[in-house]
Structure 1
């Protein structure tokens, strides 16, 4: 048992034997339905099977496969090598596993179960890991230690490795949070360590581990994690941790000090005035803004695919150009560059941009695949990769859908990277553009101190550039945030000041979607819903991929008494940017919509997702408490309200009403009654 069975010695599998098991994460292994290892004769056969299986069911031209795997041979020899390799795969998997004709080959999806496919399923539904199995789940690099067959194969391999790495990070992060919520902090920490091992330069993974250690009372260990992160970033990238990571370190140290843990000190040296005066300098780099070049997408050198590849890259350029704060290089300037990821660094230097988008279009039978990679040239790292497999019946609908999804992901990833980059720098080194993004970084922290810092950065940006519209929009957003998070006692005056700032922003740039969203949401708060709808619609027209525009429209529908329509727009917002800084608010509004529709279990689930996204905000807890009361779990609801009151001691039904007073009265009274039953005065 357990010995490899050479492919040429195997009887052909019959249909009742079930699929083979192909493992590509961590290397390559193939097992039959009985769990016996299956040995393929060459590494090229292994790579060929992996390529055909990702995903199975696609048609691949024989000429393309021959050139992809045997580019060092002439055409006749390459075709002969391909025939021999396909014969070996048929001997291993059975004659029915491979189909096609003289010109193309396909792998039957029913012949194999592929671990990379299961990874993608888990990423879309982390709860799919059965209870107790999380400690056993492991991730290995896609086709680890396998040599490349050609330059084009290297591009495919880089893409798949990045995609699988991103999927694994999503899965492990979700697993760690679920384990922590279930009270199994030891296993949650173990999963967090596995997450960090995938990419030890990813600060989000360090922060998750710090929170898990602190939650378990291991504050010294949490601060040691910060120190290790700081030293690693300095050594490998020459940068300090982001402000978010430093802030978390200080918060953990402060919590430790209040608990009397004298052995714990802030790891960044902020525990003494002398240390604060000698704080390390933040590394600087020449600002580039949201500058991006879209390299020509690779087709197959035939008319239809070249047409589609060119159409997709042109549409991406056009849609990105609609974003006022994106500097998009004209397509004439990128035409000389190849489509591979290896061209990104060269193109970024030549074109003086920070971000590069590269992609390809391939057709197999009646299926089309579009693969894209977003590269941050400042660190020479692929920060996002995805592929889109769609039926090819209607090329134009396919093109529109794929472009829309790509734009949404680019917009989210690039803006997040800009905020993180600005947060790394010392304020005196920031220009007006960076001050705006530094301000938004603070604004999205949703604390009183950050609210004041954000306002200061926006005001400083206007001192440097009085004609720059975005800082005015930022000041308007600060007013909106002040009302939302109870940072003001005069709601009416604050909303009025925010509307005035948003109108100044639009007077300077009527085509800025963010300004329209902020104004639309402010107008919704004061009950001017027709004007609010106009500006939110304008935002969607100007930037169809901007998730916060759909969230604003969802708020407007909710406040207008249309919870079903609100749920539709929330769904769009989540699809466009599941990692939006307002993600917890997306889920909280979804919770209240479900509550209004008497689906209390869904309301509870959405509220819990919101608290998982932002553990220190109160709105999601109000939604959770209301749902729990409706489900007959008043004692749990009282615990939730007590947590919310510890976060905001001024939280009352009256303070809640000051914000949502324009919401229909029947819902407000239902929610207020539930909150009073949960102990909110």
Structure 2
């Protein structure tokens, strides 16, 4: 039985049923997934035959903001005699098709154009909204309704000659909605009982859209085995083997998955088993994981950035250089698994779309982007997509003048790398929070620990230690979990939540374990640098922290820790520079209050008391700022002559610690002699001496 060959027939039937469903829609509806069509109360609205008109409708429907007329002319017209005249004609036809007597949906304000579609059913917008909401959170009924939207490619059959910008946009949208369709199908299959007849049809559609997605093949093999169709499974495996070998893809994981599935379903009779094919968020254990589930970590592929039109397909230019730089920098973070440059460039040379590449590579995230060179400037656009849900996790556009191309690439690369790392950490942390604590693997337990760690209370710090300990039980080679454990002991010592000497020793020991398992991990050197600072070994601390940022220049916490140490007894100017760099790399970091507080102390040591006060206030305003940050604010405000504000902070501190004194503040840090005298003077001004 050749399951792949049956896909076309089932999809044709599916498309026809979806097209007919549009005619029963109440109100105004627009179909973009498939051939563009408009219906009003189920009656088709006739449009002129103009392709530009249809392209304009689709572009405006998906545009998040009003679009300038100049941009629309550049997008759709190859410099005709009167592009704005043609645009006006198209807009008049759109008004005739979309507007009602009492409601204008085509709006023009000054030089911009937009569509008001809040009361219009647009299939593509519905699908995009669901993906943004999270397809993994939707129930089966909602997912099945979404699947009915996909009647074909986005703007099926529509192409524009001599409109390269629109062509690029159209290709991107088709890839985007194809990925949405795959995500919806995959999650449906995770919820549909295996014995149900429709499971096979959904799997067929999945394979049609993503023929090299191993999870789709595993789902089909699992379906066949549970229904007792072992022979059909063998036939499909042989067909899939030829398919994978033709593309030089590794077939071994799929063969091993089938062996495990056969063994698990030995003796099954047709339809004897029911239940979901596999949970939408987790594949069968046999399927595709190349590492044990307990030690699995997030994975990422950075696809080669697309060069602007006119590059002639030549590789090795600015876009490739930026891609290589991003891959290298992300790999140096050693926080998650990054696919090597050779693999992603090989797929790009075959014109494999980023979402398809992500599924072939079996990664959790794909980053992709483009570089456009324009007169006097160039624009870099990038987005990070969660492969299994087709959700855009992060997207940004950077625009620069090409004054010094290497400096610009460095700056943009820093921003992209830091943002990708931060966004993946956030998504993974949120996912871990939704799982039962006893079901977490090492990676998830580590991120659960981070969430508690960044609450900065004694109770939450204890919970963080528990989850880091669980992560290390599952994976004793997890360097970052050891670094996290070191951080919790450091907090206990720094905040006086335990015996300082004992906690300092434990912070040092945990950092040592981190270095033993991975001395190339910047977090390990960061943890050791902080532990040495606790021990009063400033020179050693600075050497370890310098190693952290040398190993990974994008490691924001390393730069912050350098600022922290220098702000007390080192070079205050260096402290300010490191603080600024850490905030540039991670502008929404949970330790942002510390970055600002370190800068405040550095300004105070330089005699710049007004600047110190302002930065201290910013630090204290952060939602997770702890009592020591409030103490920095009180002392810096006092030095700036703002005694009223300073006393308010002193009162806030003494509400929690009634006996808090300057000695407590000084003992917390490692000030040099002049720095200690400076802050003791500030304490006297507000009665904290």
Q: Normalising TM by the smaller chain, what interval? A: 0.5 to 0.7
SS of residue matched to 1:613: coil
1:279-294 correspondence runs (5 A): 285=282, 289-294=297-302
| Partner Cα separation in structure 1 for residue 636 and residue 568 of structure 2 | 19
* Long gaps (5+) in structure 1: 1-40, 70-77, 91-111, 117-140, 142-146, 160-281
1:322 Cα deviation after fit? 2.1
SS of residue matched to 1:389: strand
Change (3 A) 1:402 1:632: closer
Residue in structure 2 matching 1:634, options 634, 643, 658 = 643
- Could you tell which deviates more after superposition, 284-293 or 398-407? 284-293
Partner of 1:413: 423
**1:369 touches 1:390 (CA, 8 Å); kept in 2?**
yes
- Could you tell which deviates more after superposition, 614-623 or 589-598? 614-623
Partner of 2:331: 321
Residue in structure 2 matching 1:369, options 355, 371, 379 = 379
* Long gaps (5+) in structure 2: 1-51, 89-109, 115-131, 133-154, 161-165, 176-278, 284-292
Partner of 1:558: 567
Partner of 2:359: 349
| Partner Cα separation in structure 1 for residue 486 and residue 396 of structure 2 | 35
| Partner Cα separation in structure 1 for residue 171 and residue 478 of structure 2 | 40
| Partner Cα separation in structure 1 for residue 67 and residue 331 of structure 2 | 33
The TM-score normalised by the length of structure 2 is 0.58
The answer to whether residue 602 in structure 2 is matched with residue 593 in structure 1 is yes
Change (3 A) 1:397 1:592: closer
The answer to whether residue 587 in structure 2 is matched with residue 578 in structure 1 is yes
| Partner Cα separation in structure 2 for residue 301 and residue 667 of structure 1 | 59
**2:456 touches 2:624 (CA, 8 Å); kept in 1?**
no
1:88-487 correspondence runs (5 A): 150=166, 152-153=168-169, 285=282, 289-299=297-307, 300=309, 302=311, 306=315, 307-335=317-345, 343-392=353-402, 394-487=404-497
Provide the alpha-carbon RMSD of the alignment.
Answer: 4.1
The answer to whether residue 682 in structure 2 is matched with residue 665 in structure 1 is no
**1:294 touches 1:357 (CA, 8 Å); kept in 2?**
yes
**1:344 touches 1:375 (CA, 8 Å); kept in 2?**
no
1:372-394 deviations in Å (ceiling 9; x for gaps): 11122344322222222223354
Partner of 1:567: 576
| Partner Cα separation in structure 1 for residue 354 and residue 518 of structure 2 | 32
| Partner Cα separation in structure 1 for residue 484 and residue 66 of structure 2 | 44
1:615 Cα deviation after fit? 5.0
1:383-429 deviations in Å (ceiling 9; x for gaps): 22222222335444433332222112212222232222222222111
Residue in structure 2 matching 1:511, options 513, 520, 526 = 520
Change (3 A) 1:54 1:447: same
| Partner Cα separation in structure 2 for residue 479 and residue 668 of structure 1 | 25
Aligned residues: 453
1:520 Cα deviation after fit? 0.9
SS of residue matched to 1:371: strand
The TM-score normalised by the length of structure 1 is 0.59
**1:584 touches 1:609 (CA, 8 Å); kept in 2?**
yes
Which is bigger in relative contact order (C-alpha 8 A, separation at least 6)? Answer: 2
Change (3 A) 1:157 1:388: farther
Change (3 A) 1:347 1:600: same
1:289 Cα deviation after fit? 2.3
| Partner Cα separation in structure 1 for residue 603 and residue 636 of structure 2 | 9
| Partner Cα separation in structure 1 for residue 489 and residue 457 of structure 2 | 13
| Partner Cα separation in structure 2 for residue 622 and residue 455 of structure 1 | 26
Partner of 2:83: 85
1:585 Cα deviation after fit? 0.7
Change (3 A) 1:158 1:387: farther
| Partner Cα separation in structure 2 for residue 334 and residue 494 of structure 1 | 45
SS of residue matched to 1:79: coil
1:279-315 deviations in Å (ceiling 9; x for gaps): xxx9975776231111221112515974222222222
Change (3 A) 1:338 1:155: farther
1:576 Cα deviation after fit? 0.6
| Partner Cα separation in structure 2 for residue 600 and residue 113 of structure 1 | 48
Mark the structure with the bigger radius of gyration. Answer: 2
The answer to whether residue 641 in structure 2 is matched with residue 643 in structure 1 is no
1:614-625 correspondence runs (5 A): 614-625=623-634
Partner of 1:680: 688
1:493 Cα deviation after fit? 2.8
1:679 Cα deviation after fit? 3.8
| Partner Cα separation in structure 1 for residue 658 and residue 451 of structure 2 | 25
1:45 Cα deviation after fit? 8.6
1:513 Cα deviation after fit? 0.5
